[in-house]
Amino acid sequence: MIKYNLICRHEHEFEAWFSSSSDYDTQREKRLVQCPYCNSAKVEKAIMAPNVSTSRKKDKIASKQLESQKKAMAMMNAAASKVRKEIEEKCDYVGDKFADEARAIHYGEKSERAIYGEATASEAAELHDEGVGIAPLPDILAPKPSKKIN
């Protein structure tokens, strides 16, 4: 594909894409290339600067992409921090007793409350099989407990 800047006899400037240079020539000869503003078929190629990719241009693009990635990462970290704080404030950390606590809450042996902690894969599978509602918490969202549970 090739893009041309074109100009009509009334000096309206516009862009058009063609599959090749010869495709432009063929369409122009058949008067198929027309100005979108005045429908004039008297159209010529306008002077245009070539789109040359320089190392400075590549560096500028890479720099913009890096900056964009840094902003996105900062936003994600800020959101994760808010979630961690919310979990820490509203949930009880039960450590490696998570499976026992979740099961006791599920069966009504303990009062209902939000908890988080650690469970092995087999403990998590057993809880799931029993219908205990649990979900894994990604490390980035899990608060780092300041105290250990006995």
105 and 144 part of one domain:
yes
Are 15 and 3 spatial neighbours (Cβ–Cβ below 8 Å)? yes
109 burial via Cβ count (<10 Å: 0-12, 13-18, 19+): exposed
Write the CB contacts of 104 (distance below 8 Å, at least 6 apart in sequence). Answer: 110
Which domain range does residue 24 map to? 2-45
pLDDT digits (tens, 9 = 90+) for 29-69: 999 999 999 999 999 998 776 666 677 878 888 888 999 89
Question: For residues 63 and 81, what is the distance between their CA atoms, to the nearest angstrom?
Answer: 27
Domain count, the chain: 2
* pLDDT-based confidence at residue 147 (cuts at 50, 70, 90): low
| 75, pLDDT greater than 70 | yes
41 and 78 part of one domain:
no
Note if the pTM is more than 0.85.
Answer: no
Could you tell me the CA-to-CA distances from 143 to 92, 112, 132 in Å, in that order? 11, 21, 22
31 and 102 part of one domain:
no
Question: For residues 60 and 87, what is the distance between their CA atoms, to the nearest angstrom?
Answer: 41
Could you tell me the CA-to-CA distances from 63 to 51, 58, 71, 75, 77 in Å, in that order? 19, 8, 12, 18, 21
Between 12 and 55, the higher pLDDT residue: 12
The DSSP bridge partners found for residue 16 are 4
Report the DSSP pairing between strands 2-8 and 115-117: unpaired
Question: For residues 83 and 140, what is the distance between their CA atoms, to the nearest angstrom?
Answer: 9
26 and 83 part of one domain:
no
